[in-house]
Structure 1
Amino acid sequence: MAQKKKGTKKVTRPSSSSSKFAFWIIGLIAIAIIGFIFLANNQKSDDTAKEEIDYANQPFLGEESAPVSIVEFGDYKCPNCKNFADNVVPLVVKEFVDTGKAKFYYFHYPFINVDSERTAKFSEAVYHELGNDKFWEFHELIYDKQPEDTRYEKVDVFTEDFLTETLEEIANKEEVNKVVAYFDTKAPEDAWKSDEALGGKLGVSGTPTVFVNGKRFDGQTMEDLNKLVEEAAKEKGNE
């Protein structure tokens, strides 16, 4: 997990026809990645403690009726978040989202540099102006474009021009103009800052950090995550 360095929303999903056995075989490949991400999280949560999360007006994958809400706090310039987006999120979608067990949300927690904040603000503008589907297209494209140079943290890469050109790959001129105009207002900045403030209250200290129905995930494998999702679904059924 990238550690914090300063104190300061439905898309076409992959087919779920493959067997659960195949999923877990693939899952074994991701275990090392998941372990690396979450072992780096030194602030363990109280297993019995939960925090209220407002999911309204947040981008998500899945059916609104799904009983469990999985939340990722992420930063578009965080390399661990890219690993998570590339290797873990597809498994989460296959096992939990496509089966109707859960919805998957993305909340912004930008902290690496000004690029992080600018991209969070721009993606909020995309979500507000173009909707949930286009947000996820943009979200995936940005992670695809995350630079590999290990020195990138100190360099401005995700400039406004770059973000606009990236959006032009998936949106028409009118849509792009709407997003850029909204980006120039204070509203999308307030939106990502609201995410960041929530993360602070929840004890997020780095990215990616995951919560399941408000309970922080501190496990290391997909099996651990499956267990937490199943527990959350049972608890939801008892409400």
Structure 2
Amino acid sequence: MSNSEQPSKPASRNAAVDTSNAGTNPFKSPLVWATVLVVGVGSAVGGYVIGFREGEEKATAIHASAAGSADGSAAGSAEAARGGANEGRFEGIARREAGDPYALGEVDAPVVISEFSDFECPYCAKYSVETAPEIVKEYVDKGVVRIEFNDFPAQGPKSLTGARAGRAAAEQGKFFEFAQALHEEAYARGGHPDFEMEDYVAAAQKAGVADLEKFKADAASDKFDAAIDADRSKGMAAGVNGTPAFVIGNQLVAGAQPFDVFKDAIEQELAKAES
């Protein structure tokens, strides 16, 4: 996509779509961009909840256990994972900006998934590895769904640094490559990433970020904080209070849900778009 492109009428889900200019698809790799390492949480669905007390973020891990099937899928209905009341709160969430460095898929896709994520969130990783590749294969690659990444740092200073580092890489056109390199390192560690600045610099180098000194300076500065806070505020206004969370059309999906939950929501929104 070029910066001169303008959104047009959403494409039919059955139409042939040329995705050659839709940007790098990080899901072609075994490790994906939106979050960090795999966490062995079995059949559980979870997320991180953010709270505010005298202006300071305090994250609390929550683990919503449920009896899963033998293949590790979470129990419970799709309805329990989604919220669609007060649909007006979702207006303006999707950006649909041509050339968006944080978006994957066609700018005029009928359905946008607005993802709210944190590089330090292990439940985000569960979604990224188990669910996101299926969404990309079944919907994004066919031009009917677009995924837009939003920062939602929920675990204190290290989460904020991660968000800054991602934006520093995006400044040099390497957001997806940087995130993929970061995920590979997190996966190799086999636990909560707990990244430091040197890890971000190493990931940037692996990703091919050209000016590492500029990257390091940008990642250590507060120049992106207003944009990061805007993402988080946008999410909170939509009812997001933890990561990962996803606004799919007029529905909110919370937590590392299995693919079928996303599929149900996406199919409903596609049906609305086609009616």
Q: Show the counterpart of 2:145.
A: 102
Which stretches in structure 2 are left out of the alignment for 5+ residues?
1-45, 58-69
Change (3 A) 1:230 1:39: closer
Change (3 A) 1:47 1:95: farther
TM-score by length of 2: 0.64
**Which structure would you say has the larger RCO, counting Cα contacts within 8 Å and 6 or more residues apart?**
1
Matched, 1:45 2:83: yes
Q: Show the counterpart of 2:178.
A: 138
Alignment partners' CA distance in 1, 2:80 and 2:243: 10
Contact 1:58 1:107 in 2 (8 A): no
Contact 1:58 1:106 in 2 (8 A): no
1:136-159: per-residue Cα shift (whole Å, max 9, x none)? 122223233335446x6xxxx322
Matched, 1:201 2:237: yes
Q: Show the counterpart of 1:70.
A: 113
Contact 1:122 1:188 in 2 (8 A): no
Q: Which amino acid aligns with 2:102?
A: P
1:182-237: per-residue Cα shift (whole Å, max 9, x none)? 33543312221111111111111221111112421269543332232122223234
- Segment of structure 1 superposing worse, 213-222 or 100-109: 213-222
Matched, 1:111 2:151: no
Structure 1 or 2: more strand by fraction: 2
Contact 2:164 2:218 in 1 (8 A): no
TM-score by length of 1: 0.73
Alignment partners' CA distance in 1, 2:146 and 2:222: 29
Q: How many residues align?
A: 205
Matched, 1:81 2:118: no
Question: Which residues of 2 match residues 175-214 of structure 1 at below 5 A?
Answer: 175-214=211-250
Change (3 A) 1:148 1:40: farther
Structure 1 or 2: more helix by fraction: 1
Q: Which amino acid aligns with 1:194?
A: A
Contact 2:48 2:244 in 1 (8 A): no
Change (3 A) 1:48 1:232: farther
Question: Which residues of 2 match residues 135-174 of structure 1 at below 5 A?
Answer: 135-146=175-186, 147-149=189-191, 157-172=194-209, 174=210
Matched, 1:4 2:49: yes
The alignment-based identity, stated in percent, is 23
Aligned-pair Cα RMSD in Å: 2.9
Matched, 1:232 2:272: no
